[in-house]
Amino acid sequence: MSVALKGIKVIDLSRILAGPWASQMLADMGAEVIKVERPKKGDDTRHWGPPFIKPAQHGQPAQAAYFHSANRNKQSIAIDITQAAGQQVVKDLIAHADVLVENYKVGGLEKYGLSYQQIKSINPKLVYCSITGFGQQGPFAHKAGYDAMIQGEGGLMSLTGVSDGEPMKVGVAVVDVMTGLYSANAILAALFARTHTGQGQHIDIALLDVQVATLANQGMNYLATGENPTRLGNGHPNIVPYQTFATNDGSLILAIGNDHQFEKFCNAAGCAELANNALYQSNQQRVENRATLIPVLANILAQKSTEYWVKTLESIAVPCGPVNNLDQVFSHPQVQYRDMVQQVPDHAGVMIKTIASPINLSATPLQYKHAAPNIGQHTEQVLKQFLNYDDAQVNALFKNHIVET
């Protein structure tokens, strides 16, 4: 069966999460992704545990679950790019590639002769994606960027948390993940553009830009009013009621999106008078008067179980659901039906669980070929099969510790 990115070759010089997330998406779609890592240490996230998928063994460090979340379906080649011979190996890889992904600090690859300006003549058709904290130009371009600091600097933390509590970051590194998604989209657009321009291009993706762009409705709320949005806990700034409520045995997320749904909810909950109250008849009125409405609804919903409310409200098409922990998520019948957990073999054939991509293509489905690789697992294979190096060239690189397995 064919894959969407058949024949596309990607050199992955990125570490941590945003870049690897983008290149894993390309790998899932069928691209051949070669991950270039530091000898012995590899990607920083290999060490970000516990928990670990594998213990340290045979000269390999323990492999963190974090690393495995973003590096399946890739080959790993361990190259010392601080050495001229190692830089030449990367340049040879670039000459055969369609895409390069990197997340060094601005100017960080110049000292190795691997910046876009330095290598574009090697392969004018190369799509070169640079991911940084703050972008390639500007007064903060020199700064490193990490997800949590960008959640703070980019405004997301000011919107997250309860109104009288401290600003909070989201429990997943969403800026990195969204940056990976934007990067993969940009790479695909550049590959498509290449079909009619014949040329590659440089992609400049910044975590801060991504965070500002994904402020979405909250960002537009600010531009419309000039007022900083306040933290509302699990409430919604533009829709009421649209938040979590305590039940008598857990929590319920109630997501009422229009006036008709509110009326149906009130009838089912035995509070039809609220739907007829002039203070709450329209969403605008409910947003303006949330301070008086929400306590009344909270008292009603606290009287019965989460299961009761879910069954009752789903039967009349009022959007709602339980607040699940991850054990409940991965045992959820729909999650299981959608095969959102896959099993992939490691280099020894041991099966490892991985979370599937949400992308489902009918004619060119994604593939889950193998787990994240060991450091340098494919070094010799890549040198011989991808670059057509002969035995003497390969042996010289190993002898001089330019490459390692």
| Fold entry, domain 9-214+338-404 | Rossmann fold (3.40.50)
Residues 6+ apart with CB under 8 A from 111: none
112 DSSP assignment: G
- Cβ atoms within 10 Å of 332's Cβ, excluding its own: 14
Contact between residue 131 and residue 109 where contact means Cβ atoms under 8 Å apart: no
Mean pLDDT of 197-203: 98
**pLDDT at res. 38:** 96
Angle between the 306-314 and 259-268 helix axes, to the nearest 10 degrees? Answer: 120
- Please state, in angstroms and rounded to a whole number, the distance separating the CA atoms of residues 115 and 118: 5
State yes or no: cis peptide before 241, omega within 30 of 0: yes
Question: Of 187, 124, 82, 88, which is closest to residue 387 (Cα–Cα)?
Answer: 88
The domain segmentation of the chain, as residue ranges, is 9-214+338-404, 242-323
SS percent in the chain: helix, strand, coil, step 5:
40, 15, 45
**pLDDT at res. 358:** 98
- Please state, in angstroms and rounded to a whole number, the distance separating the CA atoms of residues 185 and 21: 12
Query: What confidence category does residue 107 fall into, taking pLDDT thresholds of 50, 70 and 90?
Result: very high
* Active-site residue, 176 included: yes
**pLDDT at res. 47:** 96
| Fold entry, domain 242-323 | formyl-coa transferase, domain 3 (3.30.1540)
Percent of the chain with pLDDT strictly greater than 90? 99
- Please state, in angstroms and rounded to a whole number, the distance separating the CA atoms of residues 144 and 345: 35
List the catalytic residue out of 176, 209, 249, 327.
Answer: 176
Question: Of 25, 26, 60, 27, which is closest to residue 46 (Cα–Cα)?
Answer: 60
Q: Is residue 1 pLDDT above 80, yes or no? A: no
Contact between residue 152 and residue 167 where contact means Cβ atoms under 8 Å apart: yes
Q: Is residue 100 pLDDT above 90, yes or no? A: yes
- Please state, in angstroms and rounded to a whole number, the distance separating the CA atoms of residues 74 and 33: 5
- Please state, in angstroms and rounded to a whole number, the distance separating the CA atoms of residues 391 and 371: 28
- Please state, in angstroms and rounded to a whole number, the distance separating the CA atoms of residues 303 and 347: 54
152-165 pLDDT, tens per residue? 999 999 999 999 99
The whole-chain average pLDDT of the chain stands at: 97
Mean pLDDT of 77-105: 98
**pLDDT at res. 152:** 98
**pLDDT at res. 58:** 87
Give the tokens for residue 315. Answer: 């039967």
* Cα Dmax for the chain: 85
Model pTM? 0.95
267-301 pLDDT, tens per residue? 999 999 999 999 999 999 999 999 999 999 999 99
Contact between residue 92 and residue 392 where contact means Cβ atoms under 8 Å apart: no
